[in-house]
Amino acid sequence: DTEVTQTPKHLVMGMTNKKSLKCEQHMGHRAMYWYKQKAKKPPELMFVYSYEKLSINESVPSRFSPECPNSSLLNLHLHALQPEDSALYLCASSPPLKRGDTDTQYFGPGTRLTVL
């Protein structure tokens, strides 16, 4: 099973709303990622969690707040977003990290977010 699931598939929200994106994997992966993808562009890394701890924050605005409550779940809390934040938000996971090694990242289908 190499499945990463994401909910919801689509989300429309106003600039004053608070919403959350959810990502789940049951592959025993210990690294989980959030990416943002605009149309016709490659995915851009936002956050990386390793063993439920935030390891990388790519200078993402604080209106995006990640959370990793356990090794299988990754959330992205959204608050006071701007229309330019509209994009496809992708979650990915990869096997336990080892120094000096590389591992495959498996992507979820994404959440299509529209901010009005």
Interaction site with another protein (CB under 8 A): 6, 31, 40-43, 45, 48, 50, 55-56, 88, 90, 94, 97-110, 112
- Nearest CA to 25 out of 3, 47, 53 is that of 3
Q: Smallest distance, Å, CB 17 to another protein?
A: 22
Q: Smallest distance, Å, CB 82 to another protein?
A: 22
Pick the closer one to another protein by CB: 50 or 79: 50
- The four Cα atoms 36, 40, 41, 46 give a dihedral, to 10 degrees, of 0
Pick the closer one to another protein by CB: 71 or 94: 94
Contact in structure between 52 and 85 (CB atoms under 8 Å) = no
Q: Smallest distance, Å, CB 16 to another protein?
A: 27
Task: Give the span between the Cα atoms of 100 and 92, in whole angstroms.
Answer: 20
